[in-house]
């Protein structure tokens, strides 16, 4: 018997994309869930940065106050040496505070965008499974009321909610530091107690109004340019 050549198995060509038959439901929910977790992780990082920056600024402020008190005790009062040290330290504290304030404003805006993104994903969940609507606590609308519903589970928030925010607290501290720095400058140039007190109060009020106006304008610009896709 002669050796017969072995027959090679037939080579099958891979099917083209047009000939593939899609069976079952596409995994849209998995894609949406992955994006949801990504936004949630980014929001967690944003909140960590808010707390970290606020804590860092308060630490710098506390260290400056302690240093000023030590210098006052060492020099025997609020004389020339104390004023010189205060004029070196307080501008640095104010610079850190102003930078922290504007970064907190930006972080709050970024957090609002992340909430809007997650609300849109919930809207997609509702479109895939409408029967799940009663079980969602957070909103699935991406307008202002829907964003506030996800933030605080209310469509409206009061004045106390805004006053307790980190940017407002940091802005108030910045205004106080500005007033103290102004009073120290007035004392350095020989102004009386009444004059430097009035100047410090006016400077603090002006700084509070300026910071509040700039923060409000930035937030208002974002609100003006935004157009919701799934309003309530």
Q: Which residue has the tokens 């007190």?
A: 197
Interval 89-106: pLDDT, tens? 999 999 999 999 999 999
Residue 5 lies in a domain: no
Q: How many CB atoms lie within 10 A of CB 5?
A: 6
**pLDDT value for 178:** 97
* b/e burial code for range 141-154 (CB count within 10 A of at least 16 → b): bbbbebbbbbeeee
Residue 55 lies in a domain: yes
Residue 138 lies in a domain: yes
Average the pLDDT over 79-91 and give the result. 92
Rg (CA), the chain: 30
Domain that holds residue 64: 28-224
Residue 142 lies in a domain: yes
**pLDDT value for 4:** 54
Backbone angles phi, psi at 20, to 5 degrees: -75, 140
Assess whether pLDDT exceeds 90 at residue 7: no
Residue 10 lies in a domain: no
**pLDDT value for 17:** 35
Closest CA to 91 of 157, 169, 188, 4: 188
* b/e burial code for range 93-132 (CB count within 10 A of at least 16 → b): bbebbbebbbbbbebbebbbbbbbbbbbbbbbbbeeeeee
Note every long-range contact of 204-207, with CB atoms under 8 Å and residues 24 or more positions apart, other chains counting: 204/175, 204/176, 204/178, 204/179, 205/175, 206/178, 207/174, 207/175, 207/178, 207/179
Residue 34 lies in a domain: yes
Residue 149 lies in a domain: yes
- Residues 107 and 49 sit within 8 Å (Cβ to Cβ): yes
**How many domains are there within the chain?**
1
**pLDDT value for 93:** 97
Q: Which of 7-21, 25-39, 140-154 has the lowest mean pLDDT?
A: 7-21
Q: Which of the two residues, 69 and 77, has the higher pLDDT score? A: 69
Interval 208-228: pLDDT, tens? 999 999 999 999 999 898 999
Q: How far apart are CA 44 and CA 38, in angstroms?
A: 10
> Residue 153's pLDDT band (boundaries 50, 70, 90)?
confident
**pLDDT value for 164:** 83
Note every long-range contact of 32-37, with CB atoms under 8 Å and residues 24 or more positions apart, other chains counting: 32/121, 32/124, 32/125, 32/128, 35/117, 35/121, 36/118, 36/121
Residue 162 lies in a domain: yes
Q: Which residue has the tokens 């304030």?
A: 101
Interval 160-207: pLDDT, tens? 777 888 999 999 999 999 999 999 999 989 888 899 999 999 999 999
Structural tokens at position 35: 């994006």
Average the pLDDT over 138-150 and give the result. 89
Q: For the whole prediction, is pTM greater than 0.75?
A: yes
Interval 30-47: pLDDT, tens? 888 899 999 999 999 999
Q: How far apart are CA 112 and CA 103, in angstroms?
A: 14
Classify the phi-psi angles of 195: left when phi > 0, otherwise alpha if psi is within -120 to 50, otherwise beta.
alpha
């Amino acid at each position: 018997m002669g050796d017969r050549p072995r027959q090679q198995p037939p080579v099958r060509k891979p099917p083209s994309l047009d000939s593939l038959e899609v069976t079952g439901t596409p995994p849209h929910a998995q894609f949406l869930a992955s994006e949801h977790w990504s936004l949630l992780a980014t929001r967690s990082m944003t909140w960590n940065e808010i707390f970290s920056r606020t804590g860092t600024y308060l630490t710098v402020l506390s260290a400056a106050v302690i240093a000023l008190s030590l210098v006052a005790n060492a020099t025997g009062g609020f004389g020339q040496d104390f004023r010189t040290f205060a004029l070196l330290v307080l501008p640095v504290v104010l610079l850190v505070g102003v930078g922290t304030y504007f970064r907190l404003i930006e972080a709050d805006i970024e957090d609002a965008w992340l909430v809007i993104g997650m609300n849109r994903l919930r809207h997609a969940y509702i479109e895939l499974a409408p029967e799940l609507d009663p079980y969602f606590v957070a909103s699935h609308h991406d307008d202002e009321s829907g964003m506030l519903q996800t933030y605080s589970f209310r469509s409206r928030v009061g004045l106390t909610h805004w006053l307790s925010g980190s940017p407002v607290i940091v802005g108030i501290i910045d205004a106080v530091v500005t007033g103290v720095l102004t009073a120290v400058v007035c004392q350095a140039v020989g102004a009386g107690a009444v004059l430097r007190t009035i100047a410090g109060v006016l400077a603090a009020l002006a700084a509070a109004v300026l910071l509040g106006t700039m923060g409000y304008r930035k937030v208002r610009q974002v609100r003006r340019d935004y157009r919701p896709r799934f309003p309530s």
